[in-house]
Homo-oligomer: A and B are copies of this chain.
């Protein structure tokens, strides 16, 4: 039931050649006489030999493994990115070693270290904090090619692929402007998080420019449904409740919709709500969520591309790629005039 380990030496003996020859046949590193090659292939098949990738990696100084660290796997946005990255990497001959930081910089640092100790050939990371994640990212980048994906730390010099949050938020604010709102609430993530900060900054700047048109309030917390629900409930209970919610991501928005309905409001008419990310849930919830689609495919593809570029040239200039977003209008916030 338990098969014995078979090494390249065993194959060599069985085929009547040296281990060097076996290696050459298997890797194609050098030409080998047809007879020897045939003998090797026969022995490999007979013994059901499979090369030990540890030995190979040790000698070659390359594991063909890329590490990836995301803040969470609960937020469906990250699984999408992971999936794209995994496919892309696989097509280039790399495997993906996945870890999560649970949104905690200490855990994050530990996982980064773990991956580096395992000699990954590169690292894709979505740092959980703008500043607290910096030491880990900086140290990692010194040891291994590293690309930040979707979120970044507050520092230059590291590759990054993200989306143009200013553009995404602008398209939402423009949409909301057409509805002539009285008061707009922004419910966003923590400012010590890259996405949270960018989206908040964009909103604040646009709100200031339009302050004659509507009043605003801002609440910051977690990127979760529970927090969204709590924040929206609190806003609605205030003495000047908003008639539009712009949320930092789709999960917050779903919580907010729930809170609005709990307050007896018809979402999409009496109050409008928008999200950000366009996760699958946005399409399936009721009413369907108006949101900003992040180009997940490109995010993964470009990140892998940058990573491989850096792998072949450790000294290339750091690149910051900002991808375009797409406004997706559904029923939770429509363009038409309200009843």
A57 contacts partner chain B, Cβ-Cβ < 8 Å: yes
Tell me which residues across on chain B come within 8 A of A117, comparing CB atoms. 50-53
With CB as the reference atom, state the residue of chain B lying closest to A56.
Answer: B117
> Could you list some 5 contacts between A and B, CB below 8 A?
A3-B143, A50-B117, A76-B76, A98-B98, A281-B281
Which stretch of A16-24, A78-86, A168-176 is in the interface?
A: A78-86
Tell me which residues across on chain B come within 8 A of A1, comparing CB atoms. 142, 314-315
Q: Assess the A83–B79 pair: CB atoms within 8 A.
A: no
Q: Assess the B50–A116 pair: CB atoms within 8 A.
A: yes
With CB as the reference atom, state the residue of chain B lying closest to A258.
Answer: B284
User: Roughly how many angstroms separate A53 CA and B117 CA in the complex, as a whole number?
Assistant: 6
Q: How far is the CB of A287 from chain B (nearest CB, A)?
A: 8
A63 contacts partner chain B, Cβ-Cβ < 8 Å: yes
Q: How far is the CB of A123 from chain B (nearest CB, A)?
A: 14
Q: Assess the B63–A54 pair: CB atoms within 8 A.
A: yes
User: Roughly how many angstroms separate A82 CA and B100 CA in the complex, as a whole number?
Assistant: 11
Tell me which residues across on chain B come within 8 A of A2, comparing CB atoms. 142-143, 314-315
With CB as the reference atom, state the residue of chain B lying closest to A114.
Answer: B95
With CB as the reference atom, state the residue of chain B lying closest to A97.
Answer: B97
User: Roughly how many angstroms separate A55 CA and B119 CA in the complex, as a whole number?
Assistant: 10
Q: Which of B53, B54, B83 contacts A73 (CB 8 A)?
A: B83
A96 contacts partner chain B, Cβ-Cβ < 8 Å: yes
With CB as the reference atom, state the residue of chain B lying closest to A98.
Answer: B98
Tell me which residues across on chain B come within 8 A of A99, comparing CB atoms. 86, 95-96
Tell me which residues across on chain B come within 8 A of A142, comparing CB atoms. 1-3
Chain A 51-81 near chain B by CB (<8 Å), digits 1 or 0: 1111101100001010000000110100110
Q: Assess the A79–B86 pair: CB atoms within 8 A.
A: no
